[in-house]
Chains A and B, each alone.
Chain A
Amino acid sequence: MSKWLSKGYTGLILTFLYAPIFVLILYSFNQSKSRGHWTGFSFRWYERLFHNDAILNAFITTLLVAVIASVIATVLGTAAAIGIHNMKKRSRTVVMNVTYLPVINPEIVMGVSLMLLFVLMGIKFGLLTLVLAHITFNLPYVILSVMPKLRQMDHYLFEAAMDLGCTPWQAFAKVTLPEIMPGVVTGFLMAFTFSLDDFNISYFVSGDKFQTLPILIYSMTRKRVSPEINALSAIIFIVVLLILILVNINDARLEKEQRKKEDALR
C-alpha cells in the first residue's frame, strides 16, 4: 500500500513538473497562432523560427552572454574561493557574508543598481554591460559551490605536493584543481543556467543593440507571444534532454570500465 502511495506521489509530482512543458511542445505543432485552441498539426512554427532574425539573434545573444559570463565567473569565482579559503577566520566570515548578500538580495535591486553604476561610469549599454552584469551575479554562486569542496579537501595534499618538488602552480593544477573540480563544474553549470534565464537584471542593462531571449519574449505580451517561441523552447528542451542522456550513458560506461579494471586487479 505504502509503495503504491509513494509511486503515485512521485508520478503526481512528475506530472506537475512536466505537464507545462508537454503542453508547450504540443502547441508548438499547432496550425494556428492560438494557445488554447487546437486546429491541426503542422511544422510551420519550426520553419518560421529559422527565418525569424529577431528570435535567432536574441537566442544567439543569450547563449553568447551565458557562455562568456559563466566561463569568466567560474575562473574568477574559483580563484576567489581559494583566496577566501586561505584567509584568517574572522576576515573569512566577513567576506563570506558579503558573498551571500547578492544571492539573497532581490534581483531587481541588483539590476537597478548595476544600471545606475554603468550610467555613472559612462559605459554605454550593450554586450559589455550585459556580460559584466551577468559575471557579477554569477560570481557568488560559483564561490558558494567551490567553497565546500575546498573545505572537504585534505589541506596537507597541497603541501605534500610542494614537498615532493612541485612548483606552487603545478601543485595547484595537479592536486588542488582535480580535487575541487566537481564544485567548479557545478558552479559553472549554475552560472550558465542562471545567465540563460535571467530577465530582471538583463532588462536594466541591455542596450539598443542587443537583447536576450527573455526580454524579447516579454516584449511580445502586448500582441501575444508568438508560437515560434514554443518551437524554440521545445528544441532547447530536447537538446538539454539529449545532453543529459548522453552524460548519463557516458557516466555509466566509465563506471563499468572502472569496475572492470578493479576486477582485473583483483
Chain B
Amino acid sequence: MKQNLLKFFCCTVSALLLFSFSSTVSSALELKDPSYYERFQGKGISISVYNWGEYLSNGSDGLMNINEEFTKLTGIKVNYTNFATNEELYAKMKSGGSNYDVIFPSDYMIARMIKEEMLAPLHRENLPNETYLNPLFEENSYDPGNVYSLPYTWGTVVIIYNKEKIKEPVDSWNILWDEKYKNEILMFSNSRDSFGIALKTLGYSLNSEDPKQLREAANLLKEQKPLVQAYVMDQIFDKMEANEAILAPYYAGDTLAMMDSNEALAVAVPKEGTNLFVDAACIPANSTNQEAAEMYINFLNEPQVAADNIEYIGYSTPNLAAFDLLDEATQNNEIIYPSDEILAQSEQFINLSDETNLRMDQLWTEVLASKGNFAAWGLAPIITILGLFAVKNWIKYNRRKKRRRMIE
C-alpha cells in the first residue's frame, strides 16, 4: 500500500513538472538593440525579483510570459517571489536574510527607502528604454528626477458604485458619508488610503502632517464608521460584483475588472481630487547583480513587453511607446488614463515623518475601535464567562481545602 501511495505521489509531481515545462512559447520579440541583452549570455547569472502578487504577465490569455522571455533572451535566470504590502517588502529587506535585485515599492515607500539608504542609484546608460517614459513622471515628489526608481505602473483612486441603486450623480467623496447608503459602503482597510480620502474630502493635502488636520480627518472617519459595511482590500471585488455593497473607493485599474463582471457598476472621479499612486522598479543597495537587474528593468520597458504586461495588470502604463500599442478603447478610457485636469488635481503620496506615521496609526486604531466594534460587544461576554469560571474554581478549591481540614 505504501508503495502505491508513493507511486501515486511521484506520478502527480512528475505530471505537474512536465506541464510546467511545456508552457507555450510566444512569437519573437522586436527589439531596438538586441545586442544589449547578450552580455550575460552563458554566464549562469540569476537575479531575484520581488514583486506584488499577480503583477507581471505570466503567459495567460495569449500574453507574454515575461520572465521566461527574459531568460530566453539574456540567459539570466529569474527567481520570482511575491509580497502583498509595501510594509511587508520593507520588513523583508530590513531583516537582512535575503538579497533582492529588483523590487517594486510604491511611491511613499520609495521615499522612505531612499531616506534610509536602502536603494542604489540607477545607471542611466544601462536603461536606454527610459526614453519612452511619459514626461509627466519625470518629476515625482517621492523621488525627484527618478534617481533611484523607474515608474512601472500608475493609477488613481476612484469611487466605484452601483448605478442601478444610486440614481444621483456621483462626483464627490462626500457620497461616502451619505446616511442614505448606510451599510452599503465599503472602505479601505489601510490607514494611508483612508486618511487620504478623509483629508481630501476636508480640502486638505493627503500628505498633511498637521496634527489638527489629521485629528479632523480621524473624526470624519469615525463619523463614517456606522455607515460602513466593512473595511476591506481585495474582498471588494466579491462584494461589489455580487451586489452586496453599492459604494466603495478603489484603485482605478481594478475597478475595470469589477465592471467587467457586473454591468451595473460605474466609476466616478471625485472633484476634490484624488491620490495618484505610482509603483516603480528599484534596485536595493545590497544587490550583487546591479547590471543584470538593470537589464531586467530595461526589458520591462521594451514597448511590446510593457504593453502585454499592462494589459495583464490592468493599471496604467507610464511607457508612451507601450501606450501607443494599446487598443483605442483602452487609450481613450477616462478611468485608466484620466484627463490632464484630473491629474493636475491629484496628489502623490510622499513619505511622512515618523511622528506623523505613528500619529496616523494611533488615530486609525481609534477609528476602528470606536463604537460598534468587537471590543464593545465581544469582550464583555468573554470576560463574564472567564470570571464565572474563576469563581467556580475558587469555590471548588475552597471546598476541597475545607474537606481536607475536616479529614485531618
Which residues of A approach B to under 8 Å, CB–CB? 32-37, 39, 48, 50-54, 56-57, 59-60, 63, 115, 118-119, 123-126, 129, 204-211, 215-216, 218-226, 239, 242-243, 246-247, 250
User: Which of A52, A53, A242, A246 has the most CB atoms of chain B within a 10 A radius of its CB?
Assistant: A53
Known: A54-B80, A208-B98, A219-B84. A39 touches B234 (CB 8 A): no
In the assembly, what is the distance between CA of A57 and CA of B59, in Å?
A: 15
In the assembly, what is the distance between CA of A247 and CA of B80, in Å?
A: 38
Partner of B97, one of A36, A54, A118: A118
In the assembly, what is the distance between CA of A54 and CA of B66, in Å?
A: 12
Contacting pair B260 A32 (CB below 8 A): yes
Chain A residues with Cβ under 8 A from B65's Cβ? Answer: 53
Chain B residues with Cβ under 8 A from A53's Cβ? Answer: 20, 23, 58-59, 65, 67-68, 80
Q: Which of B31-78 contact A (CB under 8 A)?
A: 48, 50, 52-55, 58-60, 65, 67-68
Contacting pair A206 B81 (CB below 8 A): yes
Contacting pair A220 B19 (CB below 8 A): no
Contacting pair B54 A226 (CB below 8 A): yes
Contacting pair B58 A218 (CB below 8 A): no
Chain A residues with Cβ under 8 A from B96's Cβ? Answer: 119
Extra 7 A-B pairs, beta carbons < 8 Å, given A118-B97, A208-B48, A219-B83: A36-B239, A37-B241, A51-B24, A51-B59, A207-B97, A208-B100, A220-B84
Closest to A57 in B: B20
A89 to B: closest C-beta gap in Å: 26
Contacting pair A125 B261 (CB below 8 A): no
Chain A residues with Cβ under 8 A from B233's Cβ? Answer: 221-222
B95 within 8 A of A: yes
Closest to A228 in B: B60
In the assembly, what is the distance between CA of A218 and CA of B17, in Å?
A: 23
Known: A56-B19, A222-B234. A36 touches B244 (CB 8 A): yes
B385 within 8 A of A: no
B129 to A: closest C-beta gap in Å: 25
Contacting pair B20 A54 (CB below 8 A): no
A77 to B: closest C-beta gap in Å: 19
Partner of A54, one of B16, B58, B244, B260: B58
In the assembly, what is the distance between CA of A42 and CA of B23, in Å?
A: 20
Chain B residues with Cβ under 8 A from A210's Cβ? Answer: 81
19 contacts across the A-B interface (CB closer than 8 A) = A33-B261, A34-B237, A34-B262, A50-B19, A51-B23, A53-B23, A53-B68, A56-B20, A57-B20, A119-B95, A119-B97, A205-B97, A207-B98, A211-B82, A220-B234, A221-B84, A222-B53, A226-B54, A239-B8
In the assembly, what is the distance between CA of A214 and CA of B238, in Å?
A: 21
B136 within 8 A of A: no
In the assembly, what is the distance between CA of A239 and CA of B16, in Å?
A: 13
Closest to B68 in A: A53
Contacting pair A243 B8 (CB below 8 A): yes
Chain A residues with Cβ under 8 A from B81's Cβ? Answer: 206, 208-211, 215
In the assembly, what is the distance between CA of A218 and CA of B81, in Å?
A: 12
Closest to B233 in A: A221
Closest to B67 in A: A53
In the assembly, what is the distance between CA of A210 and CA of B46, in Å?
A: 13
In the assembly, what is the distance between CA of A58 and CA of B298, in Å?
A: 27
Contacting pair A209 B48 (CB below 8 A): yes
Partner of B234, one of A60, A118, A211, A223: A223
Secondary structure dominating the interface of B: mixed
In the assembly, what is the distance between CA of A56 and CA of B13, in Å?
A: 10
Contacting pair B19 A51 (CB below 8 A): yes
Chain A residues with Cβ under 8 A from B237's Cβ? Answer: 34-36, 224
Chain B contact residues (Cβ within 8 angstroms of A): what range? 35 or more
Chain A residues with Cβ under 8 A from B68's Cβ? Answer: 53
Chain A residues with Cβ under 8 A from B262's Cβ? Answer: 34, 37
Closest to B81 in A: A211
The 10 closest A-B pairs by CB, nearest first: A36-B242, A219-B53, A208-B48, A219-B82, A220-B53, A50-B19, A207-B98, A125-B97, A36-B238, A208-B98
In the assembly, what is the distance between CA of A246 and CA of B6, in Å?
A: 13
A133 to B: closest C-beta gap in Å: 12
B254 within 8 A of A: yes
Q: Interface readout for B216-257 with A: 1 if CB under 8 Å, 0 if not?
A: 000000000000000001100111011010000000001001
In the assembly, what is the distance between CA of A254 and CA of B20, in Å?
A: 39
Chain A residues with Cβ under 8 A from B234's Cβ? Answer: 220-225
Closest to B61 in A: A48
In the assembly, what is the distance between CA of A205 and CA of B81, in Å?
A: 13
Contacting pair B16 A35 (CB below 8 A): no
Chain B residues with Cβ under 8 A from A222's Cβ? Answer: 52-54, 84-85, 233-234
In the assembly, what is the distance between CA of A246 and CA of B4, in Å?
A: 9
In the assembly, what is the distance between CA of A176 and CA of B109, in Å?
A: 58
Partner of A243, one of B5, B16, B260: B5
In the assembly, what is the distance between CA of A220 and CA of B13, in Å?
A: 24
In the assembly, what is the distance between CA of A123 and CA of B242, in Å?
A: 47
In the assembly, what is the distance between CA of A63 and CA of B20, in Å?
A: 15
In the assembly, what is the distance between CA of A206 and CA of B237, in Å?
A: 29
Closest to A67 in B: B9
Contacting pair B261 A37 (CB below 8 A): yes
Contacting pair A34 B238 (CB below 8 A): yes
User: Which of B53, B84, B237 has the most CB atoms of chain A within a 10 A radius of its CB?
Assistant: B53
Partner of A220, one of B8, B16, B54, B59: B54
In the assembly, what is the distance between CA of A211 and CA of B83, in Å?
A: 10
In the assembly, what is the distance between CA of A218 and CA of B83, in Å?
A: 8
Partner of B82, one of A34, A215, A246, A247: A215
Chain A residues with Cβ under 8 A from B330's Cβ? Answer: none
B47 to A: closest C-beta gap in Å: 9
B1 within 8 A of A: yes
A116 to B: closest C-beta gap in Å: 8
Closest to A53 in B: B20
Chain A residues with Cβ under 8 A from B85's Cβ? Answer: 222
Chain B residues with Cβ under 8 A from A60's Cβ? Answer: 13, 16-17
Closest to B77 in A: A209
Contacting pair B54 A224 (CB below 8 A): yes
